[in-house]
Amino acid sequence: MVRWLLVVPALVAVLLAVLKGGAFVVAEGEATCSGIVPMKSREKMVSIADFGGVGDGKTLNTAAFESAISHIVQQNAPGGTHLHIPAGVWLTGAFNLTSHMTLFLAKDAVIKATQDTSNWPLIDPLPSYGRGRELPGGRYMSLIHGNGLRDVIITGENGTIDGQGDMWWNMWRQKTLRFTRPNLLELMHSTDVIISNVVFQDSPFWNIHPVYCSNVVVKNVTILAPYDSPNTDGVDPDSSMNVCIEDCYISTGDDLVAVKSGWDEYGIAYARPSSGITVRRVTGSNQFAGIAIGSETSGGIENVFAENLDIFDSGIGIHIKTNSGRGGFIRNITISDVNLNNVRKALKISGKAGDHPDDGYDPNALPVVDGLTIKNVWGVGVRQPGSIQGIKDSPFTHICLSNVTLKVNSSREVPWTCADVSGGALEVQPSPCAELTSVNGVRFCTNAL
Ligand SMILES: *[C@@H]1O[C@H](CO)[C@@H](O)[C@H](O)[C@H]1NC(C)=O
Ligand SMILES: *[C@@H]1O[C@H](CO)[C@@H](O)[C@H](O)[C@H]1NC(C)=O
Ligand SMILES: *[C@@H]1O[C@H](CO)[C@@H](O)[C@H](O)[C@H]1NC(C)=O
Ligand SMILES: *[C@@H]1O[C@H](CO)[C@@H](O)[C@H](O)[C@H]1NC(C)=O
Ligand SMILES: *[C@@H]1O[C@H](CO)[C@@H](O)[C@H](O)[C@H]1NC(C)=O
Ligand SMILES: *[C@@H]1O[C@H](CO)[C@@H](O)[C@H](O)[C@H]1NC(C)=O
């Protein structure tokens, strides 16, 4: 009996690794959610070079990508088609992917965005945002784009997708942008997606943006952008279900991972939540947050589980943010096993974050924030422990902090600050605010773990 108890889990681990198709090496006993989309290889293979592509870093390959992808559509090969991008620098404008394809970046392959931004295509705003996120009207299409797709894999041997974002960042700095900057990769209304073993670099705006998607795996991906590059969020699951982000290194100019669900009256009307989001083994730094929920939360965000985060040299460790006018909800969020090193603030939960799309928002549309558990956090070089500021007419409830140790190294001692919040705290150092230390709070928090 005892022997079987030991043998069965080992067998299950091996079996799981085999089922995953060997594309990911699953360490025994290591938790993973990437099984929501099984990795697969495709028999039919084509190369971008077959379609007139030239990887010399100078030739524009937009037409080659378009014809490769329309070929994949026409061939409609059983099991889909593998589009190989060999070593080389493949300059291109924005292009659309199709279903049942693998975009494979070989070692030393670079898909590089053109810096000729004058003809960059525009697309409609997202219905849940009502306008571009930065500027009214449409928005520039992402470098790699997909809409209404299924069974898409973007992978390789650590090849690079380079947005050459500095042109766009400078337009932002000089206020000469006409529309919202493009994401590096955006997939809309798509399902069964894997993004793995690639490097995203210097995105003009957000890096990876799955919106209205389900079953998305982002695994073993590196995302890099300068510390001062504006709005270069790492991965932003937005109004999407079953998204798994694992084993990523992300160092950018904005939140490493930010879960979103639409903006004020547009997001409330579209009513598409983000749910079933898992984030695990993510490491990196930026001057904003390691993991963020919001601030766009109008479709609701629930059932988020994040663990084993390693956040260093950053602004905020964990940032949960919403605003009056947002509506929606943030509930059943668990964030566990977080290592912080040299961060300005360990935890910030705020009901006054972010701006509004226009004057049409309803100031009485108050978000509901209920059921957040933050546990097993260890921080050193923390300047301020944290602040939790709910909304007066919609206090944040069932907030539980447990086993949180923060070594504060500030010349003056900055306490926790709280308002319009209830919940509990167990084993929190420095000692948390009074709102979280009642006897009821302790009982609730014990039950929440
Ligand atoms: C790409 O797809 C979008 C729809 O999401 C469409 O508006 C656009 O015209 C397509 N662009 C190209 C270059 O095919
Ligand atoms: C992660 O990606 C790197 C680079 O592509 C690769 O060498 C490594 O095997 C990958 N690891 C896993 C677990 O897939
Ligand atoms: C993949 O490339 C990135 C960026 O160049 C690098 O930091 C990382 O170490 C590489 N990973 C592997 C496994 O080669
Ligand atoms: C809360 O979220 C977790 C995922 O983190 C999920 O497993 C669980 O079922 C959710 N609980 C409820 C009551 O929905
Ligand atoms: C408390 O959190 C630390 C740091 O994450 C962890 O190492 C430790 O095991 C936790 N303690 C308990 C009792 O869970
Ligand atoms: C706090 O610690 C961090 C890293 O551990 C260090 O860079 C910083 O200078 C320290 N600040 C103070 C005020 O001691």
Number of folded domains that form the chain: 1
Please tell me the predicted confidence (pLDDT) of residue 23: 52
Instruction: Say if 313 falls within a structural domain.
Output: yes
> What φ, ψ does residue 372 adopt, rounded to 5°?
-120, 125
Distance from C-alpha of 437 to C-alpha of 428, rounded to nearest angstrom: 10
* CA distance linking residue 360 with residue 264, whole number of Å: 9
Query: Does ligand 5 have an atom closer than 6 angstroms to the CB of 307?
Result: no
Domain membership flag for residue 327? yes
Domain contains 389: yes
* Minimal-distance CA residue to ligand 5 atom 13: 403
370 part of the active site: no
Q: Residue 40: inside a domain, yes or no?
A: no
Does a structural domain hold residue 17? yes
Give the Å distance between the CA of 47 and the centre of ligand 1: 22
Per-residue pLDDT of the chain (449 residues; tens, 9 = 90+): 444 444 444 444 444 444 433 355 556 779 999 999 999 999 999 999 999 999 999 999 999 999 999 999 999 999 999 999 999 999 999 999 999 999 999 999 999 999 998 889 999 999 999 999 999 999 999 999 999 999 999 999 999 999 999 999 999 999 999 999 999 999 999 999 999 999 999 999 999 999 999 999 999 999 999 999 999 999 999 999 999 999 999 999 999 999 999 999 999 999 999 999 999 999 999 999 999 999 999 999 999 999 999 999 999 999 999 999 999 999 999 999 999 999 999 999 999 998 999 999 999 999 999 999 999 999 999 999 999 999 999 999 999 999 999 999 887 888 999 999 999 999 999 999 999 988 777 788 887 77
CA atoms within 13 Å, Cβ hemisphere of 175 = 0
What's the CATH code of the domain at 304? 2.160.20.10
Compute the distance between CA of residue 434 and CA of residue 442 in angstroms, rounded to an integer.
12
CA 31, CA 112: separation in Å to the nearest integer?
34
Pocket test for ligand 5, best of 403, 445, 446, 449 (most atoms within 8 A of CB): 403
Is 19 a member of any domain?
yes
| CA 137 – CA 103 distance, rounded (Å) | 31
User: How far, in Å, from the CA of 309 to the mean position of ligand 5?
Assistant: 13
Ligand 4 pocket member 117 (CB < 6 A): no
| Chain position carrying tokens 């919202």 | 180
Q: Is the CB of 344 under 6 A from ligand 6?
A: no
The protein residue whose alpha carbon is closest to atom 13 in ligand 4 is 332
Find where tokens 């950018």 sit: 252
Q: Ligand 3: which atom is nearest the Cα of residue 249?
A: 7
Distance 141 CA to ligand 6 centre (A): 41
The parent domain of residue 371 ranges over: 1-30+255-449
| Nearest CA residue ID for atom 3, ligand 4 | 303
Q: What 8-state DSSP symbol labels residue 414?
A: P
Q: Choose the catalytic residue: 254, 255, 264, 370.
A: 254
Predicted model pTM: 0.94
What are the structure tokens assigned to 117, written together? 């931004």
Q: Is residue 153 domain-resident?
A: no
Give the helix/strand (H/E) hosting 282. strand 274-285
- In short, whether 407's Cβ falls inside 6 Å of ligand 6 is no
CA of 404 to the centre of ligand 3 (A): 32
pLDDT of residue 289: 98
- CB 303 within 8 Å of CB 297: no
In a domain, 391, yes or no: yes
Query: Distance between the two ends of the chain, CA-based, in angstroms?
Result: 30
Residues shown for the chain = 449
The pLDDT of residue 26 is 58
What pLDDT, on the 0 to 100 scale, is given for residue 19? 41
In the 8-state DSSP scheme, what is residue 327? Answer: -
Measured distance CA(343)–CA(199) in Å, rounded? 25
User: CB under 8 Å to 291, separation ≥6 — which residues?
Assistant: 255, 256, 257, 258, 279, 282, 306, 309, 311, 317, 318, 319, 335
